[in-house]
Amino acid sequence: MGRSKSKWTSVLLGLLLLTGCVKGVPLETHTPDSTTTSGPAQNVSLTRTITPTLANIPETKTVTWSELISPDGKRTAVVFVTTFTQPEAEEIELTVISRDGKHRQIVESIHFDRLVYLMDLPQRGHIYLKIVQWSVDGKSLYFSKAYPYGTPCSMSWLGQGGADLRKFDLDTGETTVLLDRLAIEMLFSPDKQTLLYTPGFNSQVVLYNVLTHEKTSLPLPDLADVNPGFELEKNTSGLLWSPDGRFAVYAVLKGICDAPIALSSVIMLIDTSNLSQEIILNEKDGFLPIKWENPNGILLQDNEDSYWWLNPTTKEITPAQP
């Protein structure tokens, strides 16, 4: 009888332990005896439920960096930038989206790990996608990959390595490289057929026809006699087209790499009909062309953030409001 009572006491104690009714014995700390082989107790599974925390879920944030609507208004080219926190990374995507939002066509996508990006600077590769221009018929998109590495003394995202020029055909989905990592600054003509660009900080300007692929280089004139000090490094910048596309201008500033010392400037006028060049401004103050919407007036900005009108015919400058 004593043995029977002891047996039932043991069973009762076991049930109390399983139901957690015995104080001081946490359920999750109870471990069944590995030597127990009898009875239904072998089928009892003691498990804990772990609720995932938000720290285990990577955070993402997507922003629209730039966009450009096609000439017919049926599509929009958009550059999206997505950042990830775990691990730290970025994804840059150029996508063409239909007006109703139902059709998306990925043109290019770049993904890079930020840790690798910071620790291996010479191998960064492409870090930015830039929308350059739609074709006139809206069937092709010109875009650029900007390289972050090139000239070691340069600090700007575009200036360090320059940018290429690519053409994406919406019908075939194919991309053609037109210029390979050359341009520091580029601008299409109003008819979208000719690209004006500078292949270096201290170099000539180039006219490139995207239809015929003809390329014409216009070397910088010898400015040492025109403006003392220009025998040193120069910075070519401020590319602009006239409204009718017949002329183009650019400025040559004193500087080192892409950091101009805005103490003097020479502004050149290009006649695209005969590819001649003419100096239309030679000043000790730094003037940079920023807008050309009026045939008789080029808007300039000086090193004190004041604005001026430059008449390309008379070569006179007058104060202006932007």
For 56-69, how does the pLDDT look when each residue is reduced to its tens digit (9 = 90+)? 555 778 888 889 99
* Phi/psi at 286 (5° precision): -85, 115
Residues 199 and 319 in one domain: yes
Predicted confidence (pLDDT) per residue in 222-245, tens digit: 666 555 555 555 677 889 999 999
Share of the chain above pLDDT 70, in %: 61
47 within domain boundaries: no
Q: Are the C-beta atoms of 124 and 112 separated by less than 8 Å?
A: yes
Residue 73 covered by a domain: yes
The predicted pLDDT at position 36 comes to: 36
Domain membership flag for residue 234: yes
- pLDDT reported for residue 59: 74
- 128 and 68 inside one domain: yes
Residue 239 lies in a domain: yes
Domain-located, residue 32 = no
DSSP assignment letter at 232: S
**In percent, how much of the chain has pLDDT > 90?**
39
Both 166 and 205 in one domain: the answer is no
Mean pLDDT of 243-263: 73
User: Residue 199 corresponds to which tokens in the numbers above?
Assistant: 């292949």
Q: Is the pLDDT of residue 124 over 90?
A: no
pLDDT band at 115 (very low <50, low <70, confident <90, very high): low
Residues 170 and 202 in one domain: no
Q: Which of 183, 213, 245 corresponds to the end of one domain?
A: 183
* Confidence at residue 202, expressed as pLDDT on a 0 to 100 scale: 62
Q: Is 171 in the same domain as 215?
A: no
Same domain, 312 and 206: yes
173 & 274 share domain = no
Q: Which residues pair with 177 in a beta bridge?
A: 166
The structure tokens listed for 240 are 């602009």
Range among 27-36, 39-48, 51-60, 279-288 rated most confident: 279-288
Task: Give yes or no for a contact between 206 and 215, defined as CB atoms under 8 angstroms apart.
Answer: yes
Split into its structural domains, the chain has a count of 2
Residues spanned by the domain of 226: 190-322
Q: What is the pLDDT of residue 227?
A: 55
pLDDT value of residue 85: 78
Highest mean pLDDT among 23-32, 33-42, 262-271: 262-271
7 found inside a domain: no
Domain's final residue, options 183, 199, 215: 183
* Whether residue 173 sits in one domain with residue 86: yes
The b/e string for 51-74 (b: 16+ C-beta within 10 A; e otherwise) is eeeeeeeeeeeeeebeebebeeee
pLDDT band at 8 (very low <50, low <70, confident <90, very high): very low
- From 130, 153, 183, give the residue that closes a domain: 183
pLDDT digits (tens, 9 = 90+) for 69-102: 999 999 999 999 888 877 777 888 999 999 999 9
Look up tokens 């280089």; give the residue. Answer: 217
Residue with tokens 């104080």: 23
**Using one digit for the tens of pLDDT, what is the confidence trace for 163-210?**
789 999 999 999 999 987 667 788 999 999 999 988 766 668 999 999
User: Residue 149 has what pLDDT?
Assistant: 46
**Per-residue exposure over 9-39, b if at least 16 CB sit within 10 Å of its own CB, e if not:** eeeeeeeeeeeeeeeeeeeeeeeeeeeeeee
